[in-house]
Amino acid sequence: MNNLKTKYMGIELDNPIILGACSMTKNLDILKKAEEHGVAAVVYKSLFEEQIQLERLRLDEKLTEFNDINAEMLTIHPNIKYAGCDEHLLNIRKAKESLSIPVIASLNVINEDTWIEYAKLLSETGVDGIELNFYHSPFDFNKEAKDIEEEQINIVKKIKQNTSIPVSIKLSPDYSNILNFIKNMDLVGVDAFVLFNSFFQPDIDIMKEKHVKAFNFSKKGDYKKTLRYSGLLFENIHADICSSYGVFTGVDVIKLILSGSSCVQVVSTVYKNSLTQIDTIKKELKAWMDIKNYHSIDEFRGKLSNNKLTSDSLVYKRTQYVDLLMNSENIFGDSQ
């Protein structure tokens, strides 16, 4: 019988399928249905810096609402309906209490003090771990890459010092040398890395001549960059690897585990195919393991990682591009 168990952030999961942070994961009813469909863990919707700062601004406005009222006012107490991040913390606590599977908090902020403050508050809700969303949109021409990376590493150090639960880092691929950055993060005790974050990108409506926003769903095949770095990182860092971008089918999951991932996060495929896709992915994974006579995930995890290759040892490097050029006739046939 197949054993789909795996470990992530030191937490034992019944299978490698995690429902990633998104709008769905703030809805307790959906989380319960995801559990019924066999998801191994959930990442609760991110708490964002913008959300925190907006609520703080509203509080300040309420606190100063009656500053200029004269002495005949009826009350000196402003009508405050403010909970800060209390509502988010309450809801994530309810999710943890209502589900039997691991619940991971997600934090997406900017300022160092805010990272530390809210990581600590989230850790006190009883969640099983925290996922920190790290990225940097380059808009400062004078800031060097090394400075950005050192700032983020210091934030992780302080969060690890102030919390006692596992910490994962969800990264953008847009670092100068992401392998070196991950290695340095690994040295400060990060428990897992999630590859990669998916961002909303700006777009323009040329007829209306204005910016527009759209959902940034991943597409089938988008997992390939994750596969490359999973294959390069396996057995070169202590932390676990979770693949998170463009994972749609059981075939995708198998490929990513073969490259070295311990688990995957799914989002876009659930939006497009409903929560039943979790069942489908697990069935496809089990069927393949039966065909290959694998009884556990550990038997094939990392089997095709860079460190395990005995031939074609440059498959994860740029020479793969050269191979395609040298054999282009096999791709295009007589059409060129």
pLDDT in tens, 87-132: 899 999 999 999 999 999 999 988 899 999 999 999 999 999 999 9
Q: What percent of the chain has pLDDT over 70?
A: 80
DSSP state of 46: P
Structure tokens at 134: 């790290």
Tell me which amino acid residue 75 is. T
pLDDT value of residue 311: 66
The continuous run of DSSP H or E covering 146 comes out as helix 145-162
The continuous run of DSSP H or E covering 264 comes out as strand 263-266
| Higher pLDDT among residues 172 and 233, named by residue | 233
Structure tokens at 78: 């402003």
Statement: 6-305 belongs to CATH 3.40.50.2300: no
DSSP state of 245: S
Q: Cα separations (Å) of 288 from 2, 259, 285?
A: 10, 16, 5
- CA dist 286 and 235 (Å) reads 25
- pLDDT for residue 147 is more than 60: yes
pLDDT value of residue 218: 83
DSSP state of 45: P
At residue 118, φ and ψ (nearest 5 deg) are -85, -25
Poorest-pLDDT segment among 60-64, 108-112, 168-172, 176-180: 60-64
pLDDT value of residue 75: 45
Query: In this structure, are residues 156 and 139 in contact, taking their beta carbons and an 8 Å threshold?
Result: no
Q: How does 156-169 read in b/e, with b if 16+ C-beta sit within 10 Å? A: bebbbeebebbbbb
Instruction: Name residue 167's beta-bridge partners.
Output: 130
Query: In this structure, are residues 16 and 263 in contact, taking their beta carbons and an 8 Å threshold?
Result: yes
Query: In this structure, are residues 195 and 175 in contact, taking their beta carbons and an 8 Å threshold?
Result: no
For residue 301, give every residue at least 6 positions away whose Cβ sits within 8 Å of its Cβ, in sequence order, or none. 6, 257, 258, 260, 261, 262
Longest dimension (CA), the chain: 89
- pLDDT for residue 280 is more than 60: yes
Please tell me whether residue 326 adopts helix, strand or coil conformation: helix
Please tell me whether residue 205 adopts helix, strand or coil conformation: strand
Closest C-alpha among 164, 19, 26, 22 to residue 95: 26
| Higher pLDDT among residues 65 and 9, named by residue | 9
Closest C-alpha among 265, 134, 259, 145 to residue 190: 134
Query: In this structure, are residues 119 and 47 in contact, taking their beta carbons and an 8 Å threshold?
Result: no
